[in-house]
Structure 1
Amino acid sequence: MHRLIKRGLMFGNLIEVASPVLVERYNRALKHLTGKTTGLSDFHIDVSGYSPEIGDELGDHLYLNHNGVNRQFILLTTEQKTAPLLNAKFSTSRDILRGFITENERQLFALTARDAVAGELVNSVFSVTDPVRLFDIRKVVIEADTTEGTLRDADRLGQMVDRFKGEEDAWFDDVLIADMITVAKRTGDVTRNPVQLKHMEFQQDNFWTAHFGGLYMFRGVDHPALIARGDKNSLGELPITYTFDFGDRNKIAKFLDYNDLVEPIVKARGIDAAAILRQKMDFIVVDAAQESGLDLSGATRRDIRALARGNADRLPEEYHGLRKLLDWAENGAPWPKIKSDHPAYFYTLRAADTPLRDLVNMLLAELAPKDVRQLFICHKEAFYAAYAGWSETKKSYVADFLDREYQVDKAGARAALFGHDAPMDAPAAVRVVEPDLVQRVGPWGAVRR
């Protein structure tokens, strides 16, 4: 992984912790949450406060994420909102943490000026040893406080102030007044400078989880389903009508279509579809070259396309399907019939403009894994796992490409690939599904009993 680390493609944008004061605060929070401390004098942390160096030191890279659920966090600075989330077990965790920091930035800035803030993403389960437990996860609530209990004390002081103002004889209650003075020394004047974090809850109807080989949960759609990367039969009986795995290409395609979650790249507005298709084709050529043992060191786009022309008969069906689609887009050739069982099918799609677009692009990245750029952008865990198994030639080419083409303008690359313009007027023709048929057999066919 050294190529990725060197180019900032792995462990990039982490927050450095090097001052003795911050290290001491981190250790207090770490002790508070886990009972452990670090002996390191400098390290780097992600948005949750997890440090890969401390993970190595402790021999436990889940030291803030026991059992892979209810992720704990340590905030030393609000700048952590710009950092990635490493070792993610749920796709929603980073957005939750970033949203929490953003919504409470002023309060957290004041709190972290004196102490670390430690907390936890709390849901209704503490272990997911059985897939059925995932269905008990409905919402995540954030619990947080400083290691010195500033928020707890502020709440207590607020209650005492209300009592002091509201009770007729409170002026003569020496114990109450003494307690107020003692707590106020730790919290400051909460009447003028209230210290309180917003209560935040996050619904968990749709998410990806790394558990059980990788699962995509879609409950908040018209036609719910669970999609497994591995064998669906190994999951047992689940409280959802439809369960698919990556072998069910036709059913996954229908699921995405019936829920209006995808759109063809060539019909999307505001993007250069031809350029995107050409790049996908180049990645497929690179993958085929790896399997043939060809050296791609220093290869340019012209070299890759020359290689494709010279070896067209040996390229996989994904390449030829995209080539026909490109020919339609650029030259007016006949529309290619690329059905869902065609290897190129999921390469031709991107997520529609819905609240689930990031999750859908994540799924599409795994269904079209030879598009290494989309895999890296949309599903880093899957990218790193795939990268570890590539040849040195492909590792070098992909690392160089991402450094050259993506790192220089991340926002621009994402907008060019996945951005959406203002919605078009309603299309002239809309496909209508017979409701009675859907109610009888469901959109993916009858359920086998």
Structure 2
Amino acid sequence: MIRLIQSGLMYGNLFHVASPALVERYNRALEHLTGKRTSLTDFYIDISGFSPEVGADLNDPLYLNHNGVNRQFILLSTEQRHCPLLDAKFSTSHGILKQFIAENEAALFALTARDAVAGELINSVYDISNPARLFDIRAITVEADTTSGTVRNAGTLADKVDTFLRKEDAWFDDVLIARMIELAGETGDVTRNPVTLKPLKVEQGNFWTAHFGGLYIFQTLDHPATIAAGDKPEEVPTKYNFDLGDRNQIAKFLEYNDLVEPIVKARGIDGAAILRQKMDFILVSAVTEAGVDLNGTTRRDMRMLARRHSTLLPDEFHGLAELVNWAENGGKWPRISSDHPAYFYTLRAAATPELDLINMLLSELSPHDVRQLFICHKPALYAAYANWPDAKKEYVARFLEAEYKADKAGARAALFGHDAPMEAPKPEPLDLIARVGPWGAVRR
């Protein structure tokens, strides 16, 4: 993995905790949540405050995510919103944390100027002993406060201020006044600068989880299903239950729910160019597994490489080549059914609320497309990367650094972006003359 780490493709964009003040705030929050402290004086954290280095120091890689549910978090800065979420157990967790920071940015900026904010993504499930328990997770609620309870104390102070204003003879209540002064010393003037965090509750309908070998759970669709990356689970409540080997069934599931569209027919993208890049990835996989050295190979060399090693090219390559020929040269339309190895390489997620989750699923169904695998499903990319030949590791790391990392937003837009739907032109309002004519309304 050293190539990926050195290229910033793994453990990249993390928040650096280096100053003694930040380390001490982190330790206070860590002790508040887990009863532990780290001896490290310099480490990096993700959007949730999780640090692989702290995990190694504590000998507990799940120190903020016990049992893989109800993830805890530590915020030292609102800048953490730009960080990834490492070792995510649920596909929704990163988006929830990012939304929570965005909706409370001003309050979090003020709170983290003096203390760390510690919190938890709470659901009703604390033990996932079998897959059916995952379906009990209906919503995620975010709870957070500083380690000194600033938000809680601010609420208490606000209540006491209301009591003081309503209560007769409140000026003679020395206990109430003393408590208000004490709380104000901790929270400041809550009447002028309210210290509150907006509550956030997010419905958990369709999601991916790393539990049980990886499961895609679709509960809210017209045709619900569970799709397993590993062994197919038993006794799940969805009507359909597939694994990645059930290609025909998955294809029908995606079609019945209108979740995908053919890349070559998608609006606003260069479908043929995307398919050609997928062909390059398939080519690289085939030749490197056969021991071919790619040192010094450029994108311009790919066609020559394909001719030289044509006997190594799999059906995925040839299927995509026929589709590109149709798109660019008006060739015969290739009939690529779901049985064909190239089928899922030809699709992308349609513009639905499940877009990211479907692209994640498609990346597992088209594993040679390393760019989509990296963008949509980093855990799967890292697991596959560990078993690749060195030549493929080198090529992939070099490609992602040079052609994806340089323009992440542009690459995502080119691959997965959807044009805004066209709106029907609104009729211009008629003026008075147009409505009644140049001589006014006709009287009867």
Q: TM-score interval w.r.t. the shorter chain?
A: over 0.9
Matched-pair contact (CA < 8 Å) for 2:287–2:312: no
Measure the CA separation in 2 of the matches of 1:337 and 1:323: 12
1:334 shift after superposition: 1.0
Give the superposition deviation at 1:425.
8.3
Contact 1:298 1:397 in 2 (8 A): no
User: Which residue in 2 is equivalent to 1:143?
Assistant: 143
Name the SS of the counterpart of 2:237 in structure 1.
coil
1:27 aligns with 2:48: no
**1:182 is the counterpart of 2:219:** no
Shift of 1:167: 1.7
Range with bigger deviation, 101-110 or 221-230: 221-230
Per-residue CA deviations over 1:229-276 (Å, capped at 9, x if unaligned) read 1121xx221111111111111111111111111000000011111111
Aligned twin of 1:382: 380
The residue type equivalent to 2:392 in the other structure is K
TM-superposed CA distance for 1:303, in Å, is 2.2
Aligned to 1:56: 56
Q: Which has the larger radius of gyration?
A: 2
Q: In the aligned structure 2, how far is the partner of 1:351 from the partner of 1:134?
A: 24
Query: Aligned equivalents of 2:106 and 2:262: distance in 1?
Result: 43
Aligned counterparts, 1:137-176, within 5 A: 137-176=137-176
AA at the equivalent of 2:400: L
Please tell me the residue identity of whatever aligns with 2:243. D
2:123–2:141 contact (8 Å) kept in structure 1: yes
Partner of residue 428, structure 2? none
TM-score by length of 1: 0.93
Hey, what does 1:444 align to over in structure 2? none
1:423 CA displacement: 2.7
User: How many residue pairs align between the two structures?
Assistant: 424
Query: In the superposition, relative to structure 1, how do residues 330 and 425 fare at CA in structure 2: closer, same or farther (>3 Å)?
Result: farther
User: Are the counterparts in 2 of residues 116 and 147 from structure 1 also a CA contact under 8 Å?
Assistant: yes
Normalised by the size of structure 2, how large is the TM-score? 0.94
Distance in structure 1 (CA, Å) of the matches to 2:152 and 2:44: 29
Residue 37 of structure 1 is matched in structure 2 by: 37
Residue in 1 aligned with 2:125?
125
Distance in 1, Cα, partners of 2:130 & 2:327: 47
Structure 2 residue 228 is the aligned partner of structure 1 residue 211: no
Q: Is the 8 A contact 1:43 1:51 kept in 2?
A: yes
Instruction: Report runs of 4+ in structure 1 exceeding 4 Å deviation.
Output: none
Corresponding residue number in structure 1 for 2:309: 311
Taking the aligned partners of 1:136 and 1:27, their CA distance within structure 2 comes to 33
Aligned position for 2:330: 332
Alpha-carbon distance in structure 1 between the residues aligned to 2:126 and 2:63: 15
Shift in Å, 1:10: 0.6
Show the counterpart of 1:116: 116
What is the CA distance between 1:309 and its match in structure 2? 1.5
Q: Which residue of 1 aligns with 2:437?
A: none
Q: Residue in 2 aligned with 1:297? A: 295
Q: Are 1:101 and 2:97 matched, yes or no? A: no
Whole-Å Cα distance in 2 between the matches of residues 155 and 287 of structure 1? 59
Is residue 317–residue 343 contact of structure 1 (8 Å, CA) maintained in 2?
yes
Give the residue type in structure 1 aligned to 2:414. Answer: A
Check whether the contact 1:101–1:108 (CA below 8 A) recurs between aligned residues: yes
Name which of 349, 356, 376 aligns with 2:347: 349
Q: CA deviation at 1:170?
A: 2.2
Secondary structure of 2:145's counterpart equals: strand
Structure 2 equivalent of residue 4 of structure 1:
4
Asked whether the 8 Å contact 2:360–2:377 carries over to 1, the reply is yes
**C-alpha distance in structure 2 between counterparts of 1:288 and 1:419, whole Å:** 29
Are 1:47 and 1:81, in contact at CA under 8 Å, matched by a contact in 2? yes
Unaligned runs of 5+ in 2: 425-444
- Residues of 1 paired with 2:279 and 2:46: CA distance? 34
What is the CA–CA distance in structure 1 between the aligned matches of 2:238 and 2:220, rounded to whole Å? 12
Structure 1 residue runs without a partner (length 5+): 427-449
Q: Given residue 54 of structure 1, which amino acid in structure 2 is its aligned partner?
A: V
